[in-house]
Amino acid sequence: MQYDYLVVGAGFAGSVCAERLSSAGNTVLLIDKRDHIGGNAYDCVDSNGILIHPYGPHIFHTNSQRIFEYLSKFTDWRFYEHRVLAELEGRRYPIPINKTTINTLYNLNLQDDEVEDFYKSRRIAVSEIRTSEDIVLNSVGHDLCEKFFRGYTRKQWGLDLSELSAGVAARIPTRTNDDDRYFTDSFQFMPSEGYSIMFEKMLAHKNIEIRLSTSYEYAKESESYRHTIFTGPIDLFFEYKFGPLPYRSLRFEHEHFPTTEFFQETGTVNFPNDFNYTRITEFKYLTGQQAEGTSIVREFPQSDGDPYYPIPRPDNEATFKKYQELAEQSRNVTFVGRLANYRYYNMDQVVANALSACEKLSGQKG
């Protein structure tokens, strides 16, 4: 059969595209080389009955009512505000750094209106902010940078803060009050039955055929279609013509404790300076599941393995731009999502990216 669209990758990017294009009357063949839908946001029940995220913790947050309403067609939600503590020399402090962090770390009793002056007394003014080091030094100064950011970043990326674009550390704000939420977005919810069930509903359309454990390399030879939506790594699509784009990978170590109700006091604990892992997340906080035991995941960053993060720095951006130019000249293919656009996108940004790609395609059936 000739399909209107071949969609490569069944994560947020590919699934939203498949849903939009099929609803507009197109036939869609959706493939993924993995044996499940959902991409990195896939969740499942582990062998102990706990709902876990095999590819690391995924917390949905957005300021976009449009994105929230779009996804609400496929799921109900559970209100959840994520909180993270960072462990330094055995003591735990709120991260993002806030008034409580400063007061407990330095044994002070600052009030909200005094915290800004504290940061001002510590900050190292940087006239042109280019790197992640610039952004951290410019907002909180040397000591807090060393305690909370430099070690974590080195572990996570295998690079120094000064080697990464400002946008990486800029994801973490600095607070003057005692707000200890990781995100302050207006919509912070988890899909009430999990991400995978949300994806199943999104893809339950008669015009969508799903084929798992199927690679693009295989499908492009064996299938007939008019247009490709590609959500895998863009350098792979162009057969590494300009060299490979670096991605950061992770190894996930899952562990279950059968008789422990809660392993730690909050959803995630970060370890900026100790251990080979960056953080431990306990899923029951995220999902609200009640159970006698609990399941956690530790994240060990590594350079080899599945691509999880594009690495934002100028030389990689320059290589990506070459691929992007090629993408713009290529007919009958659209690149959507985190790996295809080499952007450090959150889930909501990927949904926005997919919706706008499909809006552009609408009208040009096939």
Point out which residues bind ligand FAD (CB under 6 A).
8-14, 31-34, 39-41, 55-59, 215-216, 231-232, 236, 250, 308, 337-339, 345-348, 350
Place of tokens 């350098």: 235
C-alpha torsion sign, points 16, 19, 25, 28: positive
Q: Which lies closer to ligand FAD via its Cβ, residue 141 or residue 246?
A: 246
What is the amino acid identity at position 94? P
The Cα–Cα gap between 269 and 94 comes to 9
Options 50, 169, 245, 311; binder of ligand UDP; rule CB under 6 A: 169
- CA-based nearest residue to 97, from 203, 172, 162: 172
For residue 326, report the phi and psi dihedrals to the nearest 5 degrees.
Answer: -65, -40
Q: Which lies closer to ligand FAD via its Cβ, residue 144 or residue 352?
A: 352
Q: Binding partner of residue 180 among ligand UDP, ligand FAD, none, CB under 5 to 8 Å per kind?
A: none
Q: Does 172 bind ligand UDP (CB under 6 A)?
A: yes
Q: Does 189 bind ligand UDP (CB under 6 A)?
A: no
The Cα–Cα gap between 26 and 312 comes to 35
Q: Residues 150, 160: contact at Cβ < 8 Å?
A: yes
12-23 and 195-202 helices cross at what angle (nearest 10)? 30
Q: Does 350 bind ligand UDP (CB under 6 A)?
A: no
Report the DSSP beta bridge partners of residue 310. 247
Q: Residues 38, 324: contact at Cβ < 8 Å?
A: no
Q: Does 340 bind ligand UDP (CB under 6 A)?
A: no
Binding footprint of ligand UDP, residue count (CB under 6 A): 13
Report the DSSP beta bridge partners of residue 280. 269, 298
Q: Binding partner of residue 50 among ligand FAD, ligand UDP, none, CB under 5 to 8 Å per kind?
A: none
Question: Which residue, judged by CB position, is nearest to ligand FAD in the bound state?
Answer: 39
Sketch the per residue contact string, 65 through 104, with ligand UDP: x for CB under 6 A, - otherwise: ---------------------x--------x---------
Q: Which lies closer to ligand FAD via its Cβ, residue 140 or residue 245?
A: 245
Q: Does 168 bind ligand UDP (CB under 6 A)?
A: yes
Nearest distance from residue 168's CB to ligand UDP, in Å?
A: 5
The Cα–Cα gap between 122 and 120 comes to 5
Q: Which lies closer to ligand UDP via its Cβ, residue 33 or residue 92?
A: 92
Place of tokens 């493939």: 31
Q: How far is CA 297 from the centre of its chain?
A: 16
Options 40, 165, 270, 295; binder of ligand UDP; rule CB under 6 A: 270
Report the DSSP beta bridge partners of residue 52. 44
Q: What is the DSSP string of 25-46?
A: T--EEEE-SSSSSSGGG--EE-
Nearest distance from residue 235's CB to ligand FAD, in Å?
A: 11
Q: Binding partner of residue 172 among ligand FAD, ligand UDP, none, CB under 5 to 8 Å per kind?
A: ligand UDP
What is the amino acid identity at position 278? T
State both tokens at 61.
Answer: 């947050």
Nearest distance from residue 345's CB to ligand UDP, in Å?
A: 10
Q: Binding partner of residue 75 among ligand UDP, ligand FAD, none, CB under 5 to 8 Å per kind?
A: none
Q: Does 153 bind ligand UDP (CB under 6 A)?
A: yes
Q: Enumerate binding residues for ligand UDP (CB under 6 A).
A: 86, 95, 148-149, 152-153, 156, 168-169, 171-172, 270, 272
